[in-house]
Amino acid sequence: MMKYLFTTLTICLLISCSTKNTTIKHAHLQLKSPQSWYNLYDFQENGLKYYYTYELLTGKKIIIYDEKGKLQNEIELTKFMEQNACELSAVFIESNKQFILLSKNNHIFIVDADLKIKKEFSFSNFHYKGLHFNPPLFVSKNEIITAVSATWPDGKKFDSDYSSNAHLHKQPKFVKINRTTGRVKTTGRDLIRRYLKPLNLDLQSVFYTCAKDSEIIYNSAFTDTIYHISRAGKTTSITRVESKIGTIISPAFLSKEIRKNPDMIRNTYVSNSWIYKVLIDDFQKLNYVIVRRPLEQFEDFPFNVLIYDENWEKLDELEFKGDTYRLNFLVTKDGLLMERANNNSEKRVFDCLEYTN
């Protein structure tokens, strides 16, 4: 069992990035970890900040750390999954005493730190319709928000690729669940048709960030436009991202092409640049757009960080090689945490990108 984190270094080395406005604070955070769990999250409780990470395939546990580097809790999930006959796909921690768990069969559990169920919601009717709740998972005010991936309903057949894809394209991309009543609202039904043609399949995993007040920021590998879904469900475009990389759109797939060559999906994602993630920095009033570049040899993916002000005016663009950082980011009051690549087997190191306008 892990007993602690390496403490934050008291002496930080500053180096210059592409402009005088950006600096990188080295080893801002170090986590003692026996394996690399790629996603890092945080939460606040009683004025104190905590980090957490989870792994749901092999390790099946949640690990919580305090802001200064000390292990607070390590929670095994295997028994919970077995007792509730479920596979978990996402975890959201509200406090040290309350977690929200999402399962692959469209169940949501609100549990305490001992994993005792306080409230449970089941949405099997969505599952039968071919709608599957997927991470990422967020809580905004009294709503639990999660992404939706659409497949074909049980027993339903289509006479052509056009009609099949048309059905998938009009399905919602997100659900909002009232945590008190369990009432569900769907949203994002018109997103796919904004950038894909009827014969194109939507095979991109959803990467998005949930802004405040139940608003959603959405991006896809198949478009260079970032979209905003209001609390009322209205979709508008925020900005078209322009990068010095050039084209940052992955070519879309035709159904007949994938049937002939299933490997083309992976090959296309690996060999093209596209918007990987959008992050909102409410502390500094900045927005970050992460653009993943094609894979280079056997390193991690290289990427660019595009920095915008709160009105989506571009301020800067930084390039990072695949041997420097992984695609793991977290916005904090100090700046953008980025995980170093090639960490050893016992610790994960995060540097902090700071931008001053």
Question: Could you read off the pLDDT tens digit of each residue along the chain, which spans 357 residues?
Answer: 433 333 333 333 333 345 678 899 888 888 876 555 568 899 999 999 999 999 898 889 999 998 877 889 999 999 999 999 999 999 999 999 999 999 999 999 999 999 999 999 999 999 888 999 998 899 988 999 999 988 888 777 788 888 888 888 899 999 999 999 999 999 998 888 899 888 887 766 556 677 777 789 999 999 999 999 998 889 999 999 999 999 999 888 887 787 788 787 778 888 899 999 999 999 999 999 999 999 876 667 899 999 999 999 999 999 998 888 989 999 999 999 999 886 666 788 899 999 987
For the chain, which domains are there? Answer: 14-355 (2.120.10.30)
Cα dihedral 222, 192, 145, 276 in deg (nearest 10)? 0
One-letter amino acid at 240 equals R
Q: Distance (Å, rounded) from C-alpha 57 to C-alpha 164?
A: 32
Nearest to 123 by CA among 111, 108, 136: 108
SS3 260: helix
Per-residue model confidence (pLDDT) at position 7? 34
Q: Phi, psi (5° rounding) for residue 147?
A: -80, 165
Q: What pTM was computed for the model?
A: 0.88
Length of the chain: 357
What are the structure tokens assigned to 59, written together? 């390790």
Per-residue model confidence (pLDDT) at position 6? 35
Per-residue model confidence (pLDDT) at position 151? 85
Residue 61 to residues 82, 116, 135, Cα–Cα distance (Å):
13, 15, 17
Q: Distance (Å, rounded) from C-alpha 356 to C-alpha 7?
A: 26
SS3 157: coil
Please state, as a whole number, how many other Cβ atoms lie within 10 Å of the Cβ of residue 140.
16
Per-residue model confidence (pLDDT) at position 298? 63
Per-residue model confidence (pLDDT) at position 15? 36
Per-residue model confidence (pLDDT) at position 331? 94
One-letter amino acid at 290 equals I
Q: Distance (Å, rounded) from C-alpha 240 to C-alpha 218?
A: 12
